[in-house]
Amino acid sequence: MDKNEINSFHDFGLPHQEGQLLVDVIETDDSIFIRTAIAGVRSQAIDLHVTSDTVTIRGKRDLPQIQTNTRMEEIIHVQECHWGEFSRSIILPHQILPEKAEAVLQNGILLITLPKISTEDSQIRVFELES
């Protein structure tokens, strides 16, 4: 194989590998926040699923083509960025209300806000029934 043809994991005979996101998980008194850098990904390319105890983020980052006025041969010297499909599932440290989850993508940063289920102890009133 010519070194100019080396462009992906497939060229080395390795199976396709899905990239994994790095995330920050932050907990406050009333919410859990998940923050991840996903530069180069549009909101339409993000698939976000939330349950009461898990968040799954999936998406795809397309490899941008280098635009030049002349035809050129590519020689990749270093390729550390992951291009293609990625996913990450996070088990949450506290149960949340999935129907109130919100997500915002701004400047390549995805911020997911997950309101926690209140676990305050509440006193239960005991009724006495007469026989």
Q: Which helix (H) or strand (E) holds 32?
A: strand 31-37
Question: What token pair was written down for 106?
Answer: 């701004």
91 beta partners? 54
3-state secondary structure 50-107: ECCCEEEEEEEECCCCCCCCCCCCCCCCCCCCCCEEEEEEEECCCCECHHHCEEEEEC
Q: What is the pLDDT of residues 74-122, one digit of tens each?
A: 787 887 777 889 999 999 999 999 999 999 999 999 999 999 998 665 5
96 beta partners? 116
Q: What is the pLDDT of residues 26-84, one digit of tens each?
A: 999 999 999 999 988 999 999 999 999 999 999 998 887 777 677 677 787 887 777 88
pLDDT at 98: 95
Considering the entire predicted model, what is its pTM? 0.72
**Structure-model confidence comparison of residues 12 and 130, the more confident one:** 130
Contact 109, 35 (CB under 8 A): yes
Annotation: CATH topology of 3-63+75-115 = Immunoglobulin-like (2.60.40)
pLDDT at 11: 43
**Structure-model confidence comparison of residues 8 and 17, the more confident one:** 17
110 beta partners? 36, 105
